[in-house]
Chains A and B, each alone.
Chain A
Amino acid sequence: MAATGVVLVVFLVFHLAGNLLVYQGAGALNAYSALLRREPLLLWLARAVLLFAVCVHIAAAARLGWRDFQARPVRYRQLVPQSATLASRTMRWSGLGIATFVVFHLLHLTTGTIRPAPFEEVDVYRNVVGGFRVGWVAIVYLVAMVLIGMHVWHGAWASLRSLGVSRPSLHPKRRPVAWVLALLLWAGFTSIPIAVLLGVVR
């Protein structure tokens, strides 16, 4: 669970770095996408690692979730959370939301199966800008980025503890690394549809 989560967060950071090339214009982004496609072996190796990580992540979540569900057969009439965060209590739901979004995202910008706007495989820049100009598409992406931000905010903090690599702290619930990662990923990804909607990226 934790180890695959770390893999996926590392991927997200690289994914964001690639995406931010959109601010350098169509040339930069399309050149980057062409670079990825020039080495199909590497591309598919990366995809295989990611797919494996996603599958293990989901399978582990399902297994742990089932065990947790079984661990309390008689529910409390009342259980008042003292400090569990919204993010920690909704990890399973945000995870489901993100999984659904990833499928949509792949069908939209990788395969071009869902075409809210004209799709041209080699012109990633046009596909992105055209897609985000469609209101409902932009909303789907914006909502998904909130889910990813929350998921990473809890997951990045929790996974390092599950792996036992966090150092003891007088304030064990402070999470500077998770804050930076979650805000960076959320703000970075969110800025792109916003920029398209505002006409900064056209």
Chain B
Amino acid sequence: MNLVLHIWRQKAPQTEGGFTRYEVRGITSEMSFLEMLDVLNERLTSEGNSPIAFESDCREGICGTCGFMIDGIAHGPVAGTAVCQLHMRHFTDGMELTLEPWRARAFPVLKDLVVDRSALDRIIAAGGFVTAPTGAATEANVTRVPKQSIEAAMDAAACIGCGACVAACPNASAALFTGAKISHLGLLPQGQPERERRAIGMVKQMDAESFGNCSWHGECQDACPKRISIDVIARMNRDSLRAAIARPSDGGDGSS
């Protein structure tokens, strides 16, 4: 299989970037998309050119390190899949593909297809945790949690923080990511003591990172490799509005 790729090349954060055309030959349908890029990079390296920078780690769809736009779709054309788990059998010989990094003010490009997603880390640091001394794991049935809450919390906890929701959102909003983290902890008993402070802190940080706002296009849900539902955004809004009413001194802002 031979392909033509138009890939965004950018040397450094402050430099001007642009698209470069590459022809890739000898691709088999069993390769993953990243392995296809590995093939291209080996050739570029042996020719003395700089390889295309892209991020990856586990390559089994669970770490959230990889991700870029393929033909205008975050993580490419297959739903519920990170780009490392996207295989070349979904493409046909002779296709032309455009590869772009996630684009958002909060995600500055570091190099080529690699962006700085530390804005998401700072949202987590603003409340996405439980400050209870846990010690050894207790017997599982000591704290009983309704089945529905367990399932909903688990669905939200599936977020791997890849940033595809921000990338796919026409407003570059991080509402799905933040909503998933707030829902994950807010649905479980361990997350209750800090629920209000968490919602206010994380939403505040999300706004401070110059992400856009959620206007319910629903694109994030389709881009998410874990298919996290936009219901988590409604839950985030409910928690942050309720917290803003209950603790106005914390500066809760329910304007979005």
* Chain A residues near B (Cβ < 8 Å): 1, 60, 64, 67-68, 70-85, 88-89, 91, 154, 157-158, 160-166, 168-169, 172-173
Contact check: which of B98, B170, B216 meets A157 at CB < 8 Å? B216
CB nearest to B234 among chain A residues? A161
Q: From DSSP, what is the main secondary structure of chain A's interface residues?
A: loop
Q: From DSSP, what is the main secondary structure of chain B's interface residues?
A: mixed
Q: Does B238 contact A (CB under 8 A)?
A: yes
A-contacting residues, B171-215, CB 8 Å: 171-173, 210-215
Interface residues on B, range: 35 or more
Given contacts A60-B255, A78-B71, A172-B231, contact A72 B98 (CB under 8 A): no
Residues in chain B near residue A163, CB distance under 8 A: 237-238, 241
Digitize B215-256: 1 where CB-to-A-CB distance is under 8 Å, 0 elsewhere.
111110111000001110111111111100000000000011
Residues in chain A near residue B100, CB distance under 8 A: 76-78
Residues in chain A near residue B242, CB distance under 8 A: 164
Shortest beta-carbon distance from B48 to chain A in Å: 28
Residues in chain A near residue B11, CB distance under 8 A: none
Beta-carbon contact of B19 and A77 below 8 Å = yes
Beta-carbon contact of B217 and A81 below 8 Å = yes
Alpha-carbon gap, A68 to B219, bound state (A): 15
Beta-carbon contact of A172 and B221 below 8 Å = yes
Given contacts A64-B256, A82-B73, contact A89 B170 (CB under 8 A): yes
**Can you list 14 A-B pairs, Cβ within 8 angstroms, ordered by A?**
A1-B256, A64-B256, A72-B105, A78-B72, A79-B168, A79-B170, A82-B168, A88-B215, A161-B237, A162-B234, A164-B240, A164-B241, A172-B221, A172-B231
